[in-house]
Structure 1
Amino acid sequence: MKLNYKLYPYQSSNPNGKSIGTIIILHGLFGSSKNWVTVAKFLSEFATVYAIDQRNHGDSPHSDEHSIQIMANDLETFLSEEKIQNPILLGHSMGGLVAMYFDLTRPGVVSRLIIQDIAPRSYPFVYEKEIESMSFPLDGFTSRTEIDTEMAKYVKDSFIRQFLQMSLERREDGSYHWKLNVDGINHARRVFDDVFSLDQISKTPTLFLLGGSSEYISESDFTMMDRFFQNNQKVKIPFGGHYIHFTHQKEYLEQLRNWLEKEFR
């Protein structure tokens, strides 16, 4: 599958700066490259950055097939088509699972991993309310405010609704539609099951950048991180949740800078 992406060319403000290569950003479930503009622009100080729309998200094609393994295949095709070698992968949530699986099953391809708030294990599909909030007919709605009011019947958290609505698009005729393949994702509820039933280990330098208050990470996950990724560093952002690149952006970018400068000094 040919994936849509946004390219951020390397442009350092330091006249003596030197690119560290290529960084690929892999968004999470219900996200897109659109969610990563600020982070991508920041990272373009260090490298050429590609923010990808994974299948069934953003402007990439829709498919009935949706799994971590298939998205890793999509990434492999993307790297081949764009002639990208030894990239750094930054993956959030679902994108982090794709990045970790890709590295474990294709040793030596990736130069570094940055994994945001996810561990190499199975996760339950607990997004029924989000799916419901995007499944009612949009015919007759004339504004985002009206749609948001209806979505609030299913998802109370306004932050999550605003995040989902980044994939809501208005057509030229004034009607609305979801760029996400909501139905396809809904029928892929085992997408996070049994991905890491693997014997492989990775020596790839890996940063686990975690929300200190995230519901996605438990203390037992650290054992799994160490089992699969034997050259890793773990950094917690205090009081941060799953979306630390939004909610704790200053601290998040500071940690990215510190780690990249340490890795490539």
Structure 2
Amino acid sequence: MLRWARAWGLPRRGLRPCSPSFSTGPVAPSSSGRGGAEPRSVPLSYKLLDGEVARPALVFLHGLFGCKTNFNSIAKALAQQTGRRVLTVDARNHGDSPHSPDVSYEAMSQDLQDLLPQLDLVPCVLIGHSMGGKTAMLLALQRPELVERLIAVDISPVETTSSSDFPTYMAAMRAISIPDKVSRSCARKLADEQLSPVVQDMAVRQFLLTNLVEVDGRFVWRVNLDALAQHVDKIMAFPPRQESYPGPTLFLLGGNSQYVPPSHHPEIRRLFPRAQMQTVPNAGHWIHADRPQDFLAAIRGFLA
């Protein structure tokens, strides 16, 4: 169970439910992009905290099964401490953003290529955790002019090893049966009981259950389980790239995490020649939940 939790970036504590954001604004998707060869984007859900427009905004991208509210406390603290605008975004198939059969990093990057300029947030400081880190890295490699600097949180531009338990967990989530018109507390209790024989780690179940939402009197999973399970290989991989990103880059690693082993370092140096690596002691893969103050200090230091 713990192998799956580590490999997929499930937080051990500091969980925040994926609740709707009333600061979300619609952004029209683009079908043309640059040259017409890009994937079609979807209008992402986001929350933007106001700040100085003269300084690059901070943009946070969450990991698999996460959502923009995972960074609520971090975003508020950085907005206050730095005076900058801070944007948190729901990736496609997550949170309040639309579902799509395309789960590729190229598609997730295209979503941001359309969103960020429309919000007048380029160039920005892009901060991505796990799956969001891979999206951030690809965007920086594809469109370096949009990214003033980059922070990849406990992830690398190398294929990630998954656990064979993942399809089993996904199947357990899809098999959940909850009667209509029950209370939220009852629905969560029923879902927890049905997941527990397969997902025996309570922290993993609690995180998965943050995606259980009520729609028209019925409880459903907010994430697009079918698409994520069908294309899990794309999420674990990283698109091969030849170009490099010339901007400042920080790879922030958890001291207790094995997510970015030394064997990944040569590819990091090749694609991100200005990369520096910093380890947060006593932190696992979910660094901003395990050591939030150290996480904030590392970001502030990198911005200085």
Equivalent residue letter for 2:171: E
Q: Which has the higher mean CA deviation after the structures are superposed, 43-52 or 193-202?
A: 193-202
Cα shift at 1:160: 2.0
Cα shift at 1:193: 5.5
**Consecutive unaligned residues in structure 1, runs of 5 or more:** 12-17
- 1:41 maps to 76
- 2:5 maps to none
Match of 1:32 among 54, 67, 70: 67
Match of 2:247 among 204, 207, 224: 204
- 1:51 maps to 88
Q: Would you say 1:132 and 2:175 are equivalent positions?
A: no
CA distance in 1, matches of 2:137, 2:45: 21
Cα shift at 1:171: 4.0
CA contact (8 A) 1:86 1:109 kept: yes
Cα shift at 1:164: 1.8
- 2:263 maps to 220
CA contact (8 A) 1:125 1:190 kept: no
CA distance in 2, matches of 1:254, 1:157: 31
Paired residues for 1:115-194 under 5 Å: 115-126=152-163, 127-140=166-179, 142-171=186-215, 173=217, 175-192=218-235
Q: Which has the higher mean CA deviation after the structures are superposed, 146-155 or 230-239?
A: 146-155
CA distance in 2, matches of 1:194, 1:178: 24
CA distance in 1, matches of 2:272, 2:47: 29
SS in 2 for 1:190: helix
Paired residues for 1:248-263 under 5 Å: 248-260=291-303, 262=304
Cα shift at 1:201: 1.1
Equivalent residue letter for 1:9: D
Q: Which has the higher mean CA deviation after the structures are superposed, 251-260 or 227-236?
A: 251-260
Paired residues for 1:59-78 under 5 Å: 59-78=96-115
SS in 2 for 1:143: helix
- 2:10 maps to none
CA distance in 2, matches of 1:259, 1:194: 27
Q: Which has the higher mean CA deviation after the structures are superposed, 230-239 or 133-142?
A: 133-142
CA contact (8 A) 2:57 2:121 kept: yes
Cα shift at 1:2: 0.6
CA contact (8 A) 2:62 2:90 kept: yes
Instruction: Give the number of the structure with larger relative contact order, counting CA–CA contacts within 8 Å between residues 6 or more apart.
Output: 2
TM-score (normalised: structure 1):
0.89
Percent identity, aligned pairs only, is 33
Aligned residues: 254
Cα shift at 1:239: 2.6
Match of 1:234 among 277, 281, 286: 277
**Consecutive unaligned residues in structure 2, runs of 5 or more:** 1-41
Q: Which has the higher mean CA deviation after the structures are superposed, 30-39 or 147-156?
A: 147-156
Change (3 A) 1:252 1:133: farther
